[in-house]
Amino acid sequence: MIVFLIRRLLQSAAVLLAMSVLVFAGVYAIGNPIDLLISPEATQAERAQAMHMLGLDLPLPLQYWQFLVNAFHGNLGTSFVFNQPAISLILERLPATLELSLLALIVSLVVGIPLGLIAGLKSGTAVDETIMTGSILGFSLPNFWQGMMLIMLFSVWLGWLPSAGRGETGQILGITTSLATLDGLRHLILPATNLALFQISLVIRLTRSGVRETLPLDFIKFARAKGLTERRIVFVHVLKNILIPIITVVGVEFGSIMAFAVVTETIFSWPGIGKLLIDSIMNLDRPVVVAYLLLIVTMFILINLAVDILYSLLDPRIRLGDA
């Protein structure tokens, strides 16, 4: 187990290092780093000084080393636009993205699992067909357009729900969140629906195939033979068996939800890190872009690592086979 852990940790570190080289290459080698890292309004003398300070007059490998050392100290540059360290800017916006993603995840499970169960149990019927076609539709709906349609329907035409911003926020355990106020929740409904729709389709498919694989198994036949009610078989025996893979996949998908939050936040003017990224790209605020990319990549590697470790705890075969 310890060997597995060490090997897996080393792998993650290697991936992170490779990614940092890529991001570094993208910003420092392909683009002109002076244009990217120094405000265009700077004078010639300021530029020269800044270049020296940033070490841009050093050879490239040394520059990369400098970049790494700075990154390890949490110094990923200062935003041109906000004139504040890029990393703190991102951390400030993180709760908004997290609350949105979390809610979307919960919605996708609450809606997706029952629909998937129905489709799997009534496999081959018109109900199943309708749900599955609906899930393909959910996969096909362009996320951004679907969000716009939600705004059109519920904000512009019906006027029921707000279409932009986070609304009033409150404090829960010291974290500022929209989940704490009624107004905040009202603002959350549309963006969370928008973000959840794709995941709902995924959960439906996972649940349905899980049900279809579980139903013919011996222990279900045995449960039937024992005379258990169909209800008990479905909700206790089938559900318990398919829940683990669903939760695992959806856990990994959490990262994907956060990435898609970029789209949702842009449509609903949600002040999270996704909107910050797009704004920063538009404003050529490169330090923020770099900080976002490194942060999200780190997060992804950590999520994947956590899932792998969890898996190896649940299933010893993974640990014993070559990892």
Binding site for another protein (CB under 8 A): 15, 23, 26-27, 30-31, 133, 136-137, 139-145, 148-149, 151-152, 156, 163, 212, 255-256, 259-260, 262-263, 266-267, 277-278, 281-282, 289, 293, 296-297, 300, 304
Least spacing, CB of residue 263 vs another protein, in Å: 6
Least spacing, CB of residue 200 vs another protein, in Å: 16
- Closest to another protein by CB, 15 vs 91, is 15
Least spacing, CB of residue 172 vs another protein, in Å: 28
DSSP characters for 226-271? TT--HHHIIIIIIHHHHHHHHHHHHHHHHHHHHHHHHHHHHHTT--
Least spacing, CB of residue 48 vs another protein, in Å: 26
Angle, helices 182-214/86-121, rounded to nearest 10 degrees: 50
- From the number of C-beta atoms within 10 Å of its C-beta (0-12, 13-18, 19+), residue 27 rates as buried
- Closest to another protein by CB, 148 vs 175, is 148
- Closest to another protein by CB, 75 vs 256, is 256
CA distance 119 to 215: 13
The single-letter DSSP state of residue 138 is H
- Closest to another protein by CB, 15 vs 233, is 15
Ramachandran area for residue 165 (φ above 0: left; ψ -120 to 50: alpha; else beta): left
Least spacing, CB of residue 173 vs another protein, in Å: 29
Least spacing, CB of residue 255 vs another protein, in Å: 7
- Closest to another protein by CB, 9 vs 259, is 259
Least spacing, CB of residue 159 vs another protein, in Å: 12
CA distance 286 to 78: 9
- Closest to another protein by CB, 134 vs 170, is 134
Of 4, 36, 58, nearest to 323 (Cα)?
Answer: 4
DSSP characters for 302-313? HHHHHHHHHHHH
End-to-end CA, the chain? 11
Contact between 235 and 121 (Cβ < 8 Å): no
- Closest to another protein by CB, 166 vs 205, is 205
